[in-house]
Amino acid sequence: MTPRAQVVFLVNLLQDVNIIRPLLHLIAAELDVPQVLAVTDKFIERDKNGIWGAELREISQATGAAISVYDSAWTAYQLLQDRCGVIVAASESNLGAHLHTHDVFRAAPASYLKLTLQHGYECVGFLQNREHVLAHGHNVSFAADVICGWSEPSMLTSVVATERAKLCVTGPSTLIEIDGGPAPARTTTAAGLVCENLHSVRLNVGSDTKSSFLGSFGEFCRHLEQRGESVVMKPHPGGQYVVKNRVELPPNVELNNNPIYKIDLGGFGYGISAPSSIVIDLAIAGVPVAVWRDQDGRMDTSNFSGLAFIQETRDWIAFKRDTDLRRAAILERQRAFLQSTRLLIEPKEIRRRFLSLIGNGLSAMANARRSRRPLTQAHSQIA
Amino acid sequence: MLDVAWFGVGDNTHFRIGLQDLVDMAETLTALAAGPFAVQLTISTNARALEADALAMLRRLPVPFTVREWSEDGERALLAGSLACFLPVSAQPFSIAKSLNRCVTALAGGTQVLSAGFPLYHPFAEFIYDDPAALLADIARGELRLRPDTAEALAERFDHIASPIGESTKLAQFLLGRLIEKRARSRIASVTPSLAIVHGRRTPVWSHKIAQRMGHLSIGTPVSPPELNYDVEFRLVPGTGEVEAVMTEKAWPLLRQDCQAALEPAKARSGRPAKLLRLSGDGSLRGIADKPFPSKDAKLRTLASYGAVMDGMVARTRHLFPGITAYVSEFDDALIAARGEGAGEGSGEERSEAP
């Protein structure tokens, strides 16, 4: 009997949705295999306003993926056993925050190939900055069989020796173009996009970092207001610092909490963010982007070297002016930066690599289940 | 394909058992699967045991397996659908002290038993396997150890070591035997009484029995139930208000020395030989002695005289038996209050008169 194959996506953190979504669409379009969104009970708890649950339902409708909720390794195991295939997690490692996916990977039947995706440019276990190291250490490991990195192995300096052999460079799943999907519509007249990830461990360099960012942002907004301009503020999907802390935003700020894939990044004239993957997204989208760093320069921004850095409010204003005056030069500099990162950013190549990995994974697992006597035969031959 | 079952409690908070034993002794399954048949294992256990660590550990099993959460129906279906149960037992003290339950369940469910590790199930040796090669050989011969021919012998063995009625009868015999033995011992052991239980109006029979069984004095009063064989019984003499203390041979040696000479021969209520001591009464008791003590339901009248009587009897007990601590046994809250010292001290089942 050939067990039925399936692709199971573990969804635990809210930001996982953005990472796995293109893969669900890709598999639905190219592979004849059922898909399951296995959602942790913690995800539902975190999704207080239901935005991401609605996104999952939308994905489920578009791709035919079933949605199941699990609250323990055992309940997840019951979705997996007696079948085979591929399990994908957007955030999985031996860190406490990833326990609910890590445990499922550890427990999963051997009839599955387990993939962990790099879920950000700077990402624990793949490419860490100094604050990641201070918070989590150097030895982040995975229960996955394959870890899917964004850039060439030499650039992923935080992949420890024991995990190196698992590394497969696929590029960011988020760059896969979804067939027939409508392009995100431009919904604002604001030229600027400011992103906050103030919850991030990367900003843990001083007690005044968050207020410093918000202070400069406020002054920048006043500057824009005088000129009759507005700006879009996008909080990190999981962090939601300005929302959770009820930060009062100036009147010319539009809060946009939509998933990133529903925002037309290319329509913005410029972007500003602390070190975050959104900086890479904007650079790839051809939008001039500045990386904010604290005034004392304590934050580790080395992985963004080559991009424009801003600190005080006057830098914000100057950068915005530069995006009008010297746009081409900035974009050229960003292209050079992207090249230096050795990120794989060719959508077609990323698509090909994921399809090959998941497709081959499915057939290898199905074949292994069909001929599942090698161990015992080998044993009798040795004996 | 050989369908093999493992069932049982998969974990324990103190001992590494269950699924750990299964994985530790999985070599037996490797040997079984090395034969002409593929082995498919089904594991049926409690959900608590199926944490990530345990499931990760199961990945080390050398044969394909399915995990099910245990239920009574599930176990029955599993046994019905399996050729054999694999029952590994480790030699740790916790495991070797276990009952034969799992083996009995498996055999009674009609499956072969393949045991491994500690020979806990030795009493069923001729019906079970401890060597996978022997099981494979018997499959090839078409004659397994548990089969219709051997069922009758197995039933006899069950009668001998695994019959619920037989086992409960033996348990009851054992417990009763211990009780009888203990009683005999307690009769032999002579205990010097150190306590006296002075019974009030509502005193339970067991209070009297326990006092006597433990070698203490059980003391009756004019208000206590008359039908008990007290060691000392105080009676009021109508007309004079005097008090008579009738005491058995257990009590009189404990009587204070200066009263010994005044003892007169008498008979206890039971008819057994006893001795009697006459004690002077006092004014309060004279009034009470003249009126026969009220029947049980005349509570108000009992209340009126209760305090004086009980105080008098407790005082006399202390006086007559020096070195013995006296307690009142009274279960009626109103009467406890009537003695004037129980109020506000809770239900007060027994009032300590001791310092």
**Cβ pair B30:A376 closer than 8 A:** yes
DSSP three-state, residue A68: strand
CA angle in degrees (0–180, nearest 5) for B217-B223-B229? 40
**Cβ pair B63:A376 closer than 8 A:** yes
Chain B residues in contact with A109 (beta carbon < 8 A): 59
A109 touches chain B (CB under 8 A): yes
Q: What torsion, rounded to 10 degrees, do the Cα atoms B192, B198, B203, B206 define?
A: 0
DSSP three-state, residue A43: helix
Rounded Cα gap, residues B337 and B145, in angstroms: 75
| Spatial CA neighbour of A43 closest among A78, A79, A10 | A10
Chain B residues in contact with A376 (beta carbon < 8 A): 30, 33-34, 38-39, 62-63
Task: Mutate one of B28, B55, B57, B60 to test the A interface: name it (highest A CB count within 10 A).
Answer: B55
Nearest CA of chain A to the CA of B66: how many Å? 7
B29 touches chain A (CB under 8 A): no
Complex-level ipTM: 0.83
B74 touches chain A (CB under 8 A): no
Rounded Cα gap, residues A90 and A38, in angstroms: 12
Q: Out of A104, A109, A383, name the one closest to residue B34 (CB).
A: A383
**Cβ pair B59:A376 closer than 8 A:** no
**Cβ pair A373:B38 closer than 8 A:** yes
The arrangement of secondary structure in B2-146, i.e. its CATH architecture, is 3-Layer(aba) Sandwich (3.40)
**Cβ pair A107:B66 closer than 8 A:** no
Task: Mutate one of A2, A74, A375 to test the B interface: name it (highest B CB count within 10 A).
Answer: A74
Residues in Cβ contact with A176 at an 8 Å cutoff, skipping those fewer than 6 apart? A22, A23, A25, A26, A347, A350, A351, A354
What per-residue confidence (pLDDT) applies to B317? 94
Chain B residues in contact with A383 (beta carbon < 8 A): 34
Helices B148-161 and B101-108, interaxial angle, to 10°?
150
Residues in Cβ contact with B164 at an 8 Å cutoff, skipping those fewer than 6 apart? none
Task: Set out the domains of chain A in order of their start, with CATH numbers.
Answer: 5-172+344-377 (3.40.50.620), 192-341 (3.40.50.2000)
What per-residue confidence (pLDDT) applies to A55? 96
What per-residue confidence (pLDDT) applies to B337? 80
Average pLDDT over residues B152-172: 85
What per-residue confidence (pLDDT) applies to B202? 86
Average pLDDT over residues B28-32: 96
Share of chain A residues as helix, strand and coil, in percent rounded to the nearest 5? 45, 15, 35
- Count other C-beta atoms under 10 Å from residue B352's C-beta: 10
The H helix count followed by the E strand count for chain B is: 14, 13
Q: List, as one string, the DSSP characters of B276-320.
A: EEEE---HHHHHHHHSPPPPTT-HHHHHHHHHHHHHHHHHHHHHH
Is residue B277 classed exposed, middle or buried when 0-12, 13-18 and 19+ CB atoms within 10 A define those classes?
A: buried
Sign (positive or negative) of CA dihedral A91, A93, A94, A99? positive
- Do residues A166 and A375 lie in contact, with contact meaning Cβ atoms separated by under 8 Å? no
Q: List, as one string, the DSSP characters of B115-167.
A: EEES-TTGGGGGGSBS-HHHHHHHHHHT--SSSHHHHHHHHHHHHHHS-HHHH
Q: Could you tell me the pLDDT band of residue B292, with boundaries at 50, 70 and 90? A: low
E strand or H helix that includes residue A168: strand A167-169
B185 touches chain A (CB under 8 A): no
**Cβ pair B52:A104 closer than 8 A:** yes
Average pLDDT over residues B32-52: 96
| Residue linked to tokens 């929302």 | A243
**In which region does residue B18 sit, left (phi positive, over 0), alpha (psi from -120 to 50) or beta (all else)?**
left
What per-residue confidence (pLDDT) applies to B294? 61
Q: Out of A72, A82, A376, name the one closest to residue B33 (CB).
A: A376
**Cβ pair A379:B62 closer than 8 A:** yes
For residue B152 the two structure tokens come to: 């009758």
What per-residue confidence (pLDDT) applies to A370? 62
Q: Out of A77, A82, A375, name the one closest to residue B55 (CB).
A: A77
**Cβ pair A81:B67 closer than 8 A:** yes
Rounded Cα gap, residues A375 and A377, in angstroms: 6
- Sequence spans of domains, chain B: 2-146, 195-352
Tens place of pLDDT per residue across chain A (383 aa): 467 999 999 999 999 999 999 999 999 999 999 999 999 999 999 998 899 999 999 999 999 999 999 999 999 999 999 999 999 999 999 999 999 999 999 999 999 999 999 999 999 999 999 989 999 999 999 999 999 999 999 999 999 999 999 999 999 999 999 877 777 877 778 889 999 999 888 777 777 888 899 999 999 999 999 999 999 999 998 888 999 999 999 999 999 999 999 999 999 999 999 999 999 999 999 999 999 998 888 889 999 999 999 999 999 999 999 999 999 999 999 999 999 999 999 999 999 999 999 999 999 998 876 655 444 444 444 43
φ, ψ for residue A300, nearest 5 deg: -85, 105
Rounded Cα gap, residues B153 and B127, in angstroms: 9
- Do residues B211 and B324 lie in contact, with contact meaning Cβ atoms separated by under 8 Å? no
- The pLDDT mean for chain B works out to 87
**Cβ pair A110:B33 closer than 8 A:** no
Chain B residues in contact with A74 (beta carbon < 8 A): 47, 50-51, 55, 69
Rounded Cα gap, residues B259 and A325, in angstroms: 125
Q: What is the pTM of this model?
A: 0.72
Share of chain B residues as helix, strand and coil, in percent rounded to the nearest 5? 45, 20, 40
Ranges A182-186, B61-65, B329-333, B346-350: which has the least confidence: B346-350
Ranges A185-189, A342-346, B118-122, B197-201: which has the least confidence: A185-189
**Cβ pair B55:A107 closer than 8 A:** yes
- Do residues A174 and A167 lie in contact, with contact meaning Cβ atoms separated by under 8 Å? no
* CA gyration radius, chain A: 22
Q: List, as one string, the DSSP characters of A172-183.
A: -GGGSPPTTPPP
What per-residue confidence (pLDDT) applies to B130? 95
CA B133 to the chain's CA centroid: 46
What per-residue confidence (pLDDT) applies to B212? 86
DSSP three-state, residue A78: helix
**Cβ pair B51:A72 closer than 8 A:** yes
Chain A residues in contact with B52 (beta carbon < 8 A): 73, 103-104, 106-107
Q: List, as ranges, residues 60-79 from A with C-beta within 8 Å of B.
A: 72-74, 77
**Cβ pair B50:A380 closer than 8 A:** no
Average pLDDT over residues B300-311: 83
E strand or H helix that includes residue A229: none
φ, ψ for residue A5, nearest 5 deg: -90, 155
Nearest CA of chain A to the CA of B51: how many Å? 6
CA of A90: how far to CAs of A144, A196, A364, B334, in Å?
11, 21, 22, 74
Searching chain A, which residue's CA lies closest to the CA of residue B58? A107
Helices B72-81 and B101-108, interaxial angle, to 10°?
60
Chain A residues in contact with B62 (beta carbon < 8 A): 375-376, 379
B30 touches chain A (CB under 8 A): yes
